[in-house]
Structure 1
C-alpha cells in the first residue's frame, strides 16, 4: 500500500512538473542612444543574437515585447529562429497597466506553454514579481545580461536568475 501511495505521489509530481509554464524574462539589449525609442547598439545586436542562441532549444510559443522597438529588436533573432511573431503589449494604463496586461497574457496560455518576455529595467522585476517570483531584484540601468527563468504552477512560481551574452559592466559605488 505504501508503494502504491508513493508511486501515485511521484506520478502527480511528475505530471505537475510537466504542466508548468516556463517563462523567460529579459531586459532589452543595449540601446544605441538615449533617445525615446532607439535601435540597438552593436553590442545590443550581439546580445540579441546571444539571447537567440541561449533559447535555441526553448521553443517559445509566445513572445511578448513592449511597443518600443528596442524590445522587438532584442526578440527578433529568437522570434525568427522559432517562427514566432512577437506581440507588443501597449503601455495602456502606464507601467502598471502594461505589467498587468503582460501577466494576463501569460496566464491565458496553456499550462505547458513557453513564453519569452522582453521588457525594460523597470518592468522586468515587476513582471517577475507579478508572476509569483517574489525574489526578483530591482534592475540597475546598466544591467543587460540578466535572464530570469520562471516555472509557473498555478499561482506559484519557482525561479532562477542566470546570465547570457557578454557580461554587463555596472560601475560600483
Structure 2
C-alpha cells in the first residue's frame, strides 16, 4: 500500500502545476488521535477532540475557503470544530484501498480549482506525505502511527519552474517521539 501511494504521488508530482495555482496555501494535517473502537471507523479520543479544537484555534484566521476530509469519522471529526467555526462545510473525498492514485488526483483537482486563498486537507498517516508530493512538495516518509501534531503548510508555485515550498509546524499537545523511519 505504501509503495503504491508513493508511486502515485511521484507520478502526479511530475505533472506541471498551472501557471497560477488556484489555492495559494494548502494546510495539511493527519486526523487527530483516534479511538480503538469501532475497529472499522473509529472516532476521536478525548485527546483527539482537544487536538481538533487546537486546530480550529490555530487556523481560525488562516483565510480558509475550503476544507477537505476523507469519509472516515476521525478525519471529519478533526475538521469539525474549524468547519463549524468558519461555517464552511467540508468536502468529502473518499480514500479507498487500492485507489490511491484516484484519491490523489481528486485532491489535486480540488486544490487547483479553488479560487485563491487557503484550504485545509485532513488526511491520514500514509496519505498526507503523498498529497504533499502530488502537489509539488518534497517526498516525505509516512507519519508515525503515534504522530498527530504535524501541521504542514504548502505554498504552491505561482509560476512554472518555481518549486512549492513546505513548512512543517506543530499544533496541540506534543506527540510521543517519532521512530526513525517516519515523521
* Correspondence for 1:163 among 152, 163, 170: 170
Report the counterpart of residue 145 of structure 1 in structure 2.
Answer: 149
Q: Which runs of 5+ in 2 are unaligned?
A: 1-18
Say which structure is richer in helix: 1
**What TM-score, normalized by structure 2, do the two folds share?**
0.78
* Residue from 17, 20, 24 that aligns with 1:21: 24
Higher RCO (CA < 8 A, seq sep 6+): 2
| Residue among 43, 48, 54 paired with 1:44 | 48
Superposition map of 1:5-154 within 5 A: 21-33=24-36, 35-91=39-95, 94-110=99-115, 112-154=116-158
* CA drift at 1:97: 1.5
Conserved? CA contact 2:63–2:117, under 8 Å: no
Task: Compare CA radii of gyration and give the structure with the larger one.
Answer: 1
Q: Secondary structure at the match of 2:85?
A: helix
| Larger deviation, residues 147-156 vs 21-30 | 147-156
**3-state SS, counterpart of residue 169 of structure 1:** coil
Q: Deviations over 1:82-109 (max 9, x none)?
A: 1100010023662221122111110111
How far apart, CA to CA, are the structure 1 residues paired with 2:140 and 2:179? 20
**C-alpha RMSD over aligned residues:** 2.2
> What TM-score do the two structures reach when normalised by structure 1?
0.82
Query: 4+ residue runs of structure 1 moved beyond 6 angstroms?
Result: none
Deviations 1:34-75 (A, max 9, x none): 512001000000000000011011131010000111101000
- Structure 1 residues 97 and 30, CA, compared in 2 at 3 Å: closer, same or farther? same
